[in-house]
Amino acid sequence: MEIGSTTITRAAELLAQLRESIGQALVGQTAVVEQVVVALVASGHVLLEGVPGLGKTLLVRALAKAVTLAHGRVQFTPDLLPSDITGHAVLDPATRELRVTRGPVFTQLLLADEINRAPAKTQSALLEVMQEYQVTLEGQTIALAKPFMVLATQNPVETEGTYPLPEAQLDRFLFKVAIGYPTAAEEIAVVVRATLDQPGDELPLANVKACLNERVVATLQQIAAQQRVDEQVADYAVRLTRATREWPGLAMGSSSRGAIALVRGARAAALLEGRAFVTPDDIKRVAVPALRHRVALAPDALLEGRKADELLGALIESVAAPRA
């Protein structure tokens, strides 16, 4: 179905308002905010990685306030159990029957904070949730309300007390977004904003205004799903993905989920730009966050200190994009 230009323009305006609203809490990190918004519109999950103190939790809290969706938080720790996330059954003493108690995953925006501080058994509790939007408890399958999005934060794997996420878990995330250190000017603004009239460590969310709601988010996701993707553009996404399987320095390439993530992300990126069609540049724009967690470095590349982003950047430049 053809989408009208007025609808596309209005959608782009709403998404610009969303980015601006999040920016009232998070200083700088423009690319990070854009990638998270793209993932929201693409109905995908996001893994945020960065050292502690760079605003990962603040970003998620600001997004939740700006889109007025129900949100929950799970603080992952080494002793966290899968049932602490999904829920469990308890014996009702009055009826002598099992009663299902739902866990914090029954929400719309779930913050999985420091997900890699829990072992793989607990991390895997999110596999069914992220892929099928449902939870199985005591043989009963319970569907989650949509839109639903997991925003997981993790510290770099070199950080003490972390467990690497299994490949199957990583593959469920549409994007892996890397949050780096701010510039000097941005860091000054961060310090001023975090300390102005604030006696403690409370997150500065007062200026974040609600600009979207559940109905609007669902509509934006439907519009993005109908963006036109030419066969040549889809072929380009597949060629990029297949190139990761043979690229020097990469021991493991992306599965077909990588190409799907490229197209889904590119459709949302095109909508942010106010277009009803996807270009090869949209694919390039989302390629690194969509692929960086789906590849593994070869031992020689690790010894040389090379990074996945560096190798993917060279790969993207080497694969010819359609220009017809």
Domains of the chain listed by start with CATH number: 1-214 (3.40.50.300), 227-324 (1.10.8.80)
Of 283, 261, 315, nearest in space to 44 by CA: 261
Of 292, 307, 41, 296, nearest in space to 176 by CA: 292
pLDDT at 53: 76
pTM for this structure?
0.89
With beta carbons less than 8 A apart as the criterion, state whether 279 and 272 touch.
no
DSSP H or E segment with residue 290 = helix 280-291
Q: What is the pLDDT of residues 141-158, one digit of tens each?
A: 888 888 999 999 887 765
Side by side, the strands of the sheet bearing 46-49 are: 71-75, 109-113, 149-154, 46-49, 175-178
Structure tokens of 304?
Answer: 């040389």
Structure tokens of 309?
Answer: 């982003």
Report the percentage of the chain scoring pLDDT > 70.
95
Structure tokens of 26?
Answer: 């998070």
- In sequence order, what DSSP letters do the residues of 210-278 get, joined into one string? P---HHHHHHHHHHHHT-B--HHHHHHHHHHHHHTTT-TTEEE---HHHHHHHHHHHHHHHHHTT-SB-
Whole-number Å distance between alpha carbons of 159 and 205: 28
Q: Name the residue with higher pLDDT: 4 or 305.
A: 305
Whole-number Å distance between alpha carbons of 193 and 316: 38
pLDDT at 206: 78
Of 155, 64, 147, 79, nearest in space to 111 by CA: 64
Average pLDDT rounded to a whole number, residues 17-33:
87
**φ and ψ of 291, to 5 deg:** -115, -20
Average pLDDT rounded to a whole number, residues 98-117:
86
Q: What is the pLDDT of residues 264-274, one digit of tens each?
A: 999 999 999 99
Average pLDDT rounded to a whole number, residues 167-189:
88
Among 94-98, 231-235, 319-323, whose mean pLDDT is lowest? 94-98
pLDDT at 158: 57
For residue 11, pLDDT over 80 is answered with yes
pLDDT at 198: 67
For residue 1, pLDDT over 60 is answered with no
- The three-state DSSP-derived secondary structure of 118-163 is CCHHHHHHHHHHHHHCEEEECCEEEECCCCCEEEEEECCCCCCCCC
Q: Is the dihedral of CA 17, 18, 22, 27 positive or negative?
A: negative
With beta carbons less than 8 A apart as the criterion, state whether 26 and 53 touch.
no
Average pLDDT rounded to a whole number, residues 159-186:
83
Average pLDDT of the chain is 87
Longest dimension (CA), the chain: 71
pLDDT at 175: 95
Helix, coil or strand: residue 87:
strand
Whole-number Å distance between alpha carbons of 165 and 49: 12
Q: What is the pLDDT of residues 186-222, one digit of tens each?
A: 888 888 877 776 666 666 777 888 899 999 999 999 9
Among 10-24, 124-138, 196-210, 296-310, whose mean pLDDT is lowest? 196-210
Report the percentage of the chain scoring pLDDT > 90.
46
pLDDT at 200: 61
Whole-number Å distance between alpha carbons of 324 and 18: 34
pLDDT at 81: 87
Structure tokens of 64?
Answer: 């939740």
For residue 6, pLDDT over 70 is answered with yes
